[in-house]
Structure 1
Amino acid sequence: MLYPSIDSLLTKIDSKYSLVSVAAKRARFMQESGEPSRIAKPVSHKYVGKALEEINTGDLSYKVVSDEIVER
């Protein structure tokens, strides 16, 4: 993948795991609901690429709700 670069994406989201999780959830949502990308003319034709472009432009982000670890 050439665009957006992993370095530029990691400035928006703090870890690779979070980046993959956010992009996958958004891509799945776009695919299932048929909602178009939030970007006017995305470079990528695939859902994951569009989600990564949304993260890069700042149109898509995430918020940590809780840092608690629950033991059972």
Structure 2
Amino acid sequence: MMLEPSIDKLQERIKSKYTLVTLSSRRARQLTLTKDLQVENPKSFKNVGMALEEIEAGKLHLAKD
């Protein structure tokens, strides 16, 4: 079974796996409450998968201080 998006593609956008997990889990919690999706026609039906698709599409970024 191939998971989409792949970890390699995601790490092109966010280098740290820890940061990737943290960002996607926070976004998944937001999606649970708001259902305000930033990508059209997501492949995943789970919130974490949709959050990862948003990262891959370049819709989510890390806030820089």
Q: Same fold (TM over 0.5)?
A: yes
What is aligned with 1:11? 12
Alignment of 1:1-72 (within 5 A): 2-32=3-33, 34-65=34-65
Q: Aligned partners of 2:49 and 2:26: how far apart in 1?
A: 12
User: Whose helix proportion is higher, 1 or 2?
Assistant: 2
- Over the matched positions of the two proteins, sequence identity in percent amounts to 44
Q: Aligned partners of 2:19 and 2:35: how far apart in 1?
A: 22
- Structure having the higher Rg: 1
How many residue pairs end up in the alignment? 64
Give the secondary structure class of the aligned counterpart of 1:7.
helix
Q: Normalization by structure 2: what TM-score?
A: 0.90
The 10-residue stretch of structure 1 (20-29 or 56-65) with the greater mean CA deviation from structure 2:
56-65
Q: Aligned partners of 2:3 and 2:53: how far apart in 1?
A: 11
Q: What code does the residue aligned with 2:14 have?
A: I
Cα RMSD of the aligned pairs, angstroms, is 1.2
Q: Normalization by structure 1: what TM-score?
A: 0.82
Q: Aligned partners of 2:36 and 2:46: how far apart in 1?
A: 11
Deviations 1:24-57 (A, max 9, x none): 000001102x233111100000000000000000
Unmatched 5+ stretches in structure 1: 66-72
